[in-house]
Every structure is written in C-alpha cells, then in structure tokens.
Amino acid sequence: MPFPFAHIVVGLPVEGPFDYALPQHLQEKVAVGQRVRVPFHGAQRVGFVVGLADKSAVQNLKLVLAVLEDQPSLAESVLRLTKKMSEYCGCSWGEAIETSLPRALRKPKIVELSLSNVKNTAAASKPETVLFHDPSRRERWKYFQERIQETKVQEQGAIILVPEASMIDEGVAQFKKVMPATAVIFDKKIKPQEEWQQWKMVKEGKVAFVIGTRSAVFAPVANLGLIIVFEEDNSAYKQEQSPFYHVRDVARMRAEIEKCSLLFISTTPSAEIWHELSNGIIKKVSCVPEDLSSMQLVDLSNYNPAKTSVISFPLRNLMEKSLAGKERIVLLLNRKGFSTVTRCNQCGQALTCPRCNVNLTYLYSKKKMVCRMCHYTTAVPKICPQCKSPYLRALGTGIEKLESEAARIFPMARIARFDQESSAAPNNADILIATQAVFRILDGYRADVVAILDFDAQLNRVDFRSAQKAFASLIFLRYAAKKKLVVQTYQTNSYLIEAAKNSNFDLFYEQEIKLREELQLPPFKHLIAVGLRGREEQTVLEQAQALYERLQADGALYEASDPQPDHLAKLRDQYRFTIMLKTTAVAETFVQVKAILKDFKRKKSTIITVNLDP
C-alpha cells in the first residue's frame, strides 16, 4: 500500500523526524531506509526515510524532490542502531545515520544497489561478550583465527576493528592464513570512491568479512555473527567531533540488536571493561602470560635533569653496556622539536601561538617556531617581540635536543629520530629517539632496551584516564623491549608502577576502580561535557554562565559543575569553556539537555557541543 507521507531525518544537529509529502509518482518508489532529496532550510539536502504514514498533523508540507536509490541503503537493524546511538550519544538521528554511511552516500547522488542474497543463519552457540586478555600479545592472533574460522563454519560474517590504520595490514595477513575469502578494508583515509565501492560489495553480500578502523563498526555485513575489537582501551576509538561516539559502545549496541557475539582482544582493557568482568557481565578468557622484560626504575628525585641531562647516570651506564654489546636502544620523549619554550632573558616573555596561547615549539631542523595544536608556523625571531631584547633562550627538551645530547654522550653511536611524520624506523640505528608515535612500529622493531625519560608527563595530563593510559604504555613497552624497560620518574611508589613492574593487573584495576568510585567517574557515573566556544572570550563566558544556571535549575537527573576554561582555554582563535555534568541516566539526561539547548538564547557566534565521556 503506497503512503502519501514520509518521516525523514537529515544529517544536521536538529531533532527530527520531519514530515514530508510524497508526490503521486514517488509514493510506490519510496521505502523505509532509502535516501531521498528534500528541501531543508532553503537548501536541498540528502534525507533519510525512517518511516511512512497515511496521514500527518502538519499542514502545508514540503515535497520530497527525488528518490536517490532503488534499494534502501539502510537496513532496519541500522535504523535501530543509529536511533539508539543518537539517544546515547546526544546527537541527532540524522547525524548518526550519516556517520554510518560512506561519504559518497552523504551527497544527493543517485546510486544503484543490488539486493543481498545472503540468508540469516542462527549461530551454533549463544551469542556472548568475551574479553580475551593477552598481556604478552603473543596469543591474540591465534585466538582471533580460531574465532574467525568458527564464524565461517556457521556461514556468518564478521567485523574486525583495529584502533590504527597501521594495524590493518597485519590483520589482513593473519586473516588470510586461515581464510581464503576476501576481507574488505574500511578506513576513512581511503578515497571516497573506493570507500563507496567497498561498502557496496559488503552491502550486496559479496563479502562477509570486514577489517578496519573506527568507521568499520557500521559496515553493512549481512548475517553478522561476530564483532572483534582489538585494544578497546585505545583512545583512537573515540570520535572527537559530533557525533561523539566510542566504538566500544556502538559495537555493544550492534551486537545486542543483531544478536551476534562481541569479542574484545586486549593487553590492558579499559577500567570500564574490567569492572564489567568483576560483576560477571562479560566473560574472560586468558592465555598463559609469558615473561615480559624486566623493568628498572630511576628515581629522579636523586638527580636534577635541568642541571645535568635528561639521560640520568644509571640510564647512561646501561646504555654504554648495551652499545658495547651491539644492542638496540629506544629513548622515548613525547616532545617534538628542539625546545618546548623560548623565553626572553630580559623580560621573561615566552613566545606563544597568537591563535592558541600555548608555547611555540622550536624546530631546529626547519629553523621554525610551530604551534603543536594548530600548526601555526613562524620564523625564529631575532629579538623579543615584547622588549626588543636580543637575548632569547631555548628551554625544555624535545627530541631534537635529545638527539644532540645523545650524540655528545655517545659520539660513536648511530642515532636516528622517529616522530609522527616518520614512516619507518631505520634498521641500522643503535639509538632511536622517538615520541609516542613509535608505538605503532615497536611491535616489529623490538629493541633490546627501551627507556621512558619523562614518565610523569603521562600522569600529569588533564584526563581522568591518564593512569589507565600510563599503565597500558608500561605493559606494552615491557613487551616491546627484549631485555629491559627503564622508567625515569619521581613517583616510584605509584600503585600503577608497582602493578606494571610485577605484571599485577588485579592490583592496578582494583586501585583504579576504587579511585573512580570515590570520585564518581566512569564506570560509576557518566560525564557529559557541554562545551561552548567562540571568538569573544567575555561573550562565551557569559553564555556559559547563563547556560549553567539553566542546567542547574533543572538538574534532577545530573550534577552540574560551574563553567571552567577548557584545558586548552584558547584554540584556533576560539575561547573554550566547559560545563561538566555527572549522571547515571545518560539517555534521559540528553533528552533534558537537548530541550534546554533548544530554548536557550544562544548567540550565533557561540558554538555549543555535547560530548559523552570525553
């Protein structure tokens, strides 16, 4: 039966659905899940049909202009997933749908799709959520292959998620060892046309296995039997723009909707997952851990790196012995450039980014000053811009200065640098000096000795997950170092250092979860960051204060903290303030927050975002 009206959402931060009238010639062509072209706020946009009706309470409806596909792009399960995602993440339904589709389908382009002939088959076993805990990273691929083979035997498909594009090739190689079938790669870095072709192959049922980064969680795999998430604690799984979703949450929603199994394979699971383990919500499978490299602590309270060297005397002695034994060394310092601060000796003025108010980093190799946040670049000034004094001093140590220092101490050693711009580590280097970008190649590099020169910088981040991330890095580096991991720190008695040194996962998670419970942080309460930003600092602050008072007045479901400058108070010429909400009722809180924001008299120059568990 043809319907004269359609419920449609669009990929904008506006609540829908919106009613549209269907012209007579389109009524038999339109189906739920299809893309259509509609007029919206004076422009033509892609709309997504989420329902059909034989009547509407709205008068003078606009007409749907065209149908953009012969078969629906969006299966019923995808509509359910994106609806649930919009409620949980605080975005609009249209934004969630648009995020789930390849870029080509977000444009009003007519496409042809064939119907999939894949039939749904029931799994031989009941769907389950499992954590495979692999501290030494040695057994993960074997277990992965076993689960993929089981899925294939059951004639079902699978989605394999990895946090970084650098892991995709290894995932494909391990997949091919046990599976002759093709696995399609999903990654936002591929070209839109290639992305569309890959998506189309999966949608039409020609391929049943997908390997990819964050966006692959939405791959339209028919008869989905298994979702695998490698290293779910990796921050790359959280999208830092609207919609602010985490792959872990979306994968869980999808597994529930499509009744498939969900497998987390992790070295250091997130505290949220470990808490669920302790409560019996998910099942744990552990391999027998292999011995990791030894871990040596260097107490920096016995040294003064500012007056001596960031390479402490114990580390220097160890490096001398390692170099004599033809061993490979990696020195980790997560600071690019030569110096982190350039300051005038006369007036004390530091050179800062005009757009972000953060200290400019001096790049000796390029003879430039650069902002680490917005990449603003300027020449190195010859005089202080404040007092015109010629005495400017480069302070702090980046990897360029560390390279110079290492060359002075070990003149015969071959030294190389590795940072975000590097593609591969040189195999002939005796000492590799690197930022945390080196993590992506350390699995294969396997140095004999790895040293973290400033471990405390990881702990001092403005992030309640800093301890979790620091613990994860220690465990990973104990695996990556063949013989020894050296950690320079002032906090030698920290519970996470003790836990990492003794491979005591229970100790770390017990203490971390206890601390989070005391502070009412995830997983005990969720955080919703209501962010405001704009070019006029006073205007943004006044708007933030007014919004806080409105939120505070209706705060039965949540606790609201007063507006605070963001940890990056100014970024790309925009001043930023955050109102933090704590709640146990996420969906209900978002309903209330959306209603408040809809009525809030926001100035056009102020942008407001809502981010779950930032």
The 3-state DSSP class for residue 594 equals helix
HSE-CB at 370 with a 13 A cutoff on CA atoms is 15
**Residue 180 pLDDT more than 90?**
no
User: What's the CATH code, domain 294-335+397-515?
Assistant: 3.40.50.300
pLDDT at position 291 is 74
CB neighbour list of residue 325: distance below 8 Å, 6 or more residues apart: none
Strand partners, 299: 489
pLDDT band at 554 (very low <50, low <70, confident <90, very high): confident
Segment (H or E) for 30 = none
The pTM for the full model equals 0.92
Where in the chain are the domains?
5-106, 129-286, 294-335+397-515, 526-612
pLDDT at position 410 is 96
CATH architecture, domain 5-106? 3-Layer(aba) Sandwich (3.40)
Distance of CA 173 to the CA centre of its chain: 24
Residue with tokens 């959520």: 129
> What are the percentages of helix, strand and coil residues in the chain, rounded to 5?
35, 25, 40
pLDDT band at 287 (very low <50, low <70, confident <90, very high): confident
Task: Mark out the alpha helices in 66-222 (DSSP H runs).
Answer: 76-89, 93-100, 140-153, 168-176, 192-203
Q: What is the overall mean pLDDT for the chain?
A: 92
**Residue 329 pLDDT more than 90?**
yes
- Angle 198-199-202 from CA coordinates, rounded to 5°: 90
**Residue 245 pLDDT more than 80?**
yes
Tokens of 283: 């099942």
DSSP result, 36-81: EEEEETTEEEEEEEEEEES--S-SSPPBP-EE-BSS-SS-HHHHHH
Is 294-335+397-515 in the same CATH topology as 129-286? yes
Tokens of 288: 């027998």
Kindly report, residue by residue over 128-179, the tens digit of the pLDDT. 999 999 987 888 999 999 999 999 999 999 999 999 998 999 899 999 998 8
pLDDT at position 424 is 77
The CA distance from 179 to 415, in Å, is 41
pLDDT band at 121 (very low <50, low <70, confident <90, very high): low
Pairing of strands 157-161, 209-212: parallel
Topology given in CATH for the domain delimited by 526-612 = Alpha-Beta Plaits (3.30.70)
Task: Mark out the alpha helices in 437-494 (DSSP H runs).
Answer: 439-445, 456-459, 466-480
The CA distance from 494 to 286, in Å, is 26
How many residues appear in the chain?
614
The CA distance from 418 to 399, in Å, is 9
pLDDT at position 189 is 85
CA 228 vs CA 176, 184, 312, 443, 478: distances in Å: 16, 15, 42, 20, 25
Kindly report, residue by residue over 511-545, the tens digit of the pLDDT. 999 999 999 999 999 999 999 999 999 999 999 99
Kindly report, residue by residue over 343-375, the tens digit of the pLDDT. 999 999 999 999 999 999 999 989 999 998 999
pLDDT at position 356 is 93
pLDDT at position 303 is 81
The CA distance from 54 to 420, in Å, is 56
pLDDT at position 445 is 81
**Residue 490 pLDDT more than 90?**
yes
- Across 82-104, b (16+ Cβ under 10 Å) vs e yields bbbbbbbbbbbbbbbbbbbbbeb
> Residues 299-308: contacts with CB within 8 Å, 24+ apart?
299/489, 299/490, 299/492, 300/456, 300/488, 300/489, 300/490, 301/490
pLDDT band at 305 (very low <50, low <70, confident <90, very high): low
Asked whether the beta carbons of 371 and 355 are under 8 A apart, the reply is yes
pLDDT at position 120 is 62
pLDDT band at 288 (very low <50, low <70, confident <90, very high): low
- Look up the CATH superfamily of 129-286: P-loop containing nucleotide triphosphate hydrolases (3.40.50.300)
The one-character DSSP state at 22 is P
Tokens of 262: 């969900």
pLDDT band at 109 (very low <50, low <70, confident <90, very high): confident
